[in-house]
Amino acid sequence: MRSEEQGQKLAAEDRIALLKKIGAARNSTVISYLTSIRDGARASIYDSDNRILERHLELARVAGAKNIDLIVNTHGGSGSMGWNFHSMFRDYFPGARLGVFVPYVAYSAGTQICLGCDEIILTRSSVLGPADIAAASSISGVLDLINDLDKNNKVGAADKLALLFSGENSTSLGELYRYWKEDRRVLLAALRSRKNPLSEKENEKIVKYFLDDVGVHNQGIRRKEVAEAGVSFMTPIEKSGVEQEVTQVFGKYAETMKLFNPVIDKSDLQGDGGMAPQVIVESEYETTAAFRSGRLDRDWKTHGATFAAPSIEESDAGTDWLSIAHSDPSSQRTGRRRR
């Protein structure tokens, strides 16, 4: 085994020990999901990441897990991934509690994931963000401009629509409106899927804030504003009983993924030896990491798998890391619940 691989293995063992400690304190199984926020090497949330998360949920279900806690760190990505995850989670764990720790940042699609959880645990450094699809905010911007200029409310609804659709952009605006409607639908669906959902009025307040009220897509929303937005299921981490462990495990992820080491040029990536994961999904059952993230594919590899699927082939990284990029998850365990 190469020294880099040995280091990765030892680092994973240290992290998993902390995940177990957090889970023991909260009667849960902890699953980490981090995409790189590294300057020059950022990785986005992909819809296909749900396939990897599903592996970990299935392993937890078979092991008899009662509740799940996520540790999420991401700048966002796919606008549909969040609701797809919550729909999948509630199928695997109906009636279970789903918590999420945000040790640092969960922007955009990361915020969508958080808002469907039963508890959001935020540190003093935690930052959420607007949960809209960035382009769809154009509609809100135009309407805000019209309304701000029309202080005396002299412009009727029909005239506002005429102004909105004047020019050659009607089709594009219609498409953006569909995005906005879908954003609103999935956010409400995620909030309604919670084990103990809030009232519809409270849910609408949260959606309005995260979808419409914050005007800049990458604006950071810290926990005081999260609470003011009506997210009554937010818990400051100092009240969680696991602040130290969450801080420690995030520090270890940051070191492994080089989250705060900016990439200046290609030599920085070459210096990593290819061993700085751009995405990690990890639980006490296994570590699944993508060491390369492109527009169409992630080079997923898993360590410490608890199954032996014949379609999984050994990668060139050594016998401890197995490629699962094209494996059939149904071959992982017998008796898997079909959906």
- Percent above pLDDT 90 for the chain: 55
Task: Identify the three-state secondary structure at position 288.
Answer: strand
Q: Which whole number is the average pLDDT over 273-294? A: 85
Least trusted range by pLDDT, from 70-79, 142-151, 277-286, 297-306 = 142-151
Least trusted range by pLDDT, from 217-231, 249-263, 298-312 = 298-312
CB contact set of 265 (below 8 Å; sequence gap of 6+): none
- For 5-22, the pLDDT digits (tens) are 656 777 888 999 999 999
Strand-pair category, 105-106 with 322-323: unpaired
Model-wide pTM > 0.85: no
Q: Answer with the residue of higher pLDDT: 233 or 299.
A: 233
pLDDT at 309 over 50: no
Cα–Cα distance measured from residue 245 to residue 226, given in angstroms and rounded to the nearest whole number:
23
- pLDDT at residue 213, rounded to an integer: 85
Cα–Cα distance measured from residue 173 to residue 88, given in angstroms and rounded to the nearest whole number:
32
**Residue 329: pLDDT band with limits 50, 70, 90:** very low
- pLDDT at residue 134, rounded to an integer: 54
Least trusted range by pLDDT, from 192-206, 272-286, 292-306 = 292-306
- Percent above pLDDT 70 for the chain: 71
**Residue 336: pLDDT band with limits 50, 70, 90:** very low
- pLDDT at residue 167, rounded to an integer: 57
**Residue 269: pLDDT band with limits 50, 70, 90:** low
Residue 143 main-chain phi, psi, to 5 deg: -65, -40
**Residue 35: pLDDT band with limits 50, 70, 90:** very high
Q: Where are the domains of the chain?
A: 3-129+220-331, 134-180
Q: Which of 316, 333, 302 is nearest to 53 (CA)?
A: 302
* Terminal CA-CA length for the chain: 39
Name the residue type at position 210.
F
- pLDDT at residue 258, rounded to an integer: 93
Q: Would you say 304 and 287 are in contact if contact means Cβ atoms under 8 Å apart? A: yes
- For 81-106, the pLDDT digits (tens) are 999 999 999 999 999 999 999 999 99
Cα–Cα distance measured from residue 207 to residue 183, given in angstroms and rounded to the nearest whole number:
9
* Segment 84-87 long-range contacts (CB within 8 Å, at least 24 positions apart): 84/47, 84/50, 85/50, 85/53, 85/113, 85/116, 86/113, 86/116, 86/189, 86/190, 86/193, 87/189, 87/193
- pLDDT at residue 119, rounded to an integer: 98
Sign of CA dihedral 300, 302, 306, 309: positive
pLDDT at 339 over 50: no
Task: Identify the three-state secondary structure at position 221.
Answer: strand
Q: Answer with the residue of higher pLDDT: 265 or 55.
A: 55
pLDDT at 130 over 50: yes
Task: Identify the three-state secondary structure at position 254.
Answer: helix
Q: Which whole number is the average pLDDT over 73-86? A: 93
Q: Would you say 329 and 307 are in contact if contact means Cβ atoms under 8 Å apart? A: no
Average pLDDT value for the chain: 82
Cα–Cα distance measured from residue 59 to residue 254, given in angstroms and rounded to the nearest whole number:
25
Least trusted range by pLDDT, from 65-74, 213-222, 314-323 = 314-323
- pLDDT at residue 298, rounded to an integer: 84
Residue 73, H or E segment:
strand 68-73
